[in-house]
Structure 1
Amino acid sequence: MDGGVPLTTVMCGYGEDIVSFLRFLEDDVRELARKLESSGEDMRTASRSLADTDAGRIGPPALSGRCDEFADSWDYGFGQLSELARGIGDVANNAADTFNVTDEDLERALREGGGAA
C-alpha cells in the first residue's frame, strides 16, 4: 500500500484521498456485523428479563399458565433469533476479511503487473 492508500484506488484515478471500493464495503459489512451482534445481545437481555416475570400475578391460574407457555415460547424464539444474528454477524465479519484480503491481493497484482503509474 502506498502511504496507507490502496493502489487500486490510485489505479482507478480517484486520487489518494479516497479509499478503495472494497475497503468501503469492508467498513459497511463490519458495521452490519456489529449491529447484528448487538441486536442478538438485546434479544438475550429481553428474554432474560421475561424469564424473571411471575405470571401468577396476572390473574386466574388458566391465564397465568398460558402466559408461562408464551414466555417459554418467546424465550426459545429469542434464543433462536439471537443465535442466527450472531451467525450472520460472523459471516459478515468473514466477508469483510475477504474484502480486505482481495483488495490487498489486487493491489499486489497491479504492482507486480507493472500497472502502477
Structure 2
Amino acid sequence: MADLFVDTDLLRRAQRDLDRIEPLLRAPTEGMADLAGSATEVVRLREALREFGDEWDYGIGKLANFTGGLAEALQTIRDTFDEAERQLSGAFEQ
C-alpha cells in the first residue's frame, strides 16, 4: 500500500498567494468602464472603450471569483487532511 503525503505548508502558501491575488485583480477594474467612456469625446471611440471596459471588468471579475473559490477549496482540503490526521493519530493512541 502506498503512503499518502500532503504538503499542508505548500497548500497554505498557495492559499495565501491566491487570497492576495483576488484583490489585486479586482482593484484595476473598479470603474474601468466609466473611466474609459469619459476618456474621449469621439462617440465611436467612447463606445468602443466602454465596451472594452465592460468586457475587461467581466473577465477579470470572473478570474478574481475563481481565484477566491480556489483559495476556499484549498482551505477545505487542508482542514479535511488535518482532521483526518487527528483522527488517525487518535486511533493509534487508543
Q: 1:30 to 1:52 in 2, by over 3 A?
A: farther
| Larger-Rg structure | 1
Letter in 1 for 2:69: G
* Farther off after superposition, 94-103 or 50-59: 50-59
Among candidates 46, 52, 64, match of residue 46 of structure 2? 64
TM-score with structure 1 length normalisation?
A: 0.66
Identity of aligned residues (%): 27
TM-score, normalized by length of structure 2? 0.79
| Higher helix fraction (1 or 2) | 2
Alignment partner of 1:57: what SS? coil
CA contact (8 A) 1:40 1:86 kept: yes
Aligned length: 90
CA deviations on 1:19-39 (whole Å, 9 max, x unpaired) are xx54xx222112211211211
RMSD between aligned residues? 2.0
Structure 2: gaps of 5 or more residues? none
2:92 is aligned with 1:110: yes
1:2-56 deviation digits (Å, cap 9, x = unpaired) = xxxxxxxxxxxxxxxxxxx54xx22211221121121111111111163452444
Superposition map of 1:1-117 within 5 A: 21-22=5-6, 25-48=7-30, 50-51=32-33, 53-58=35-40, 60-112=42-94
Q: Which runs of 5+ in 1 are unaligned?
A: 1-20, 113-117
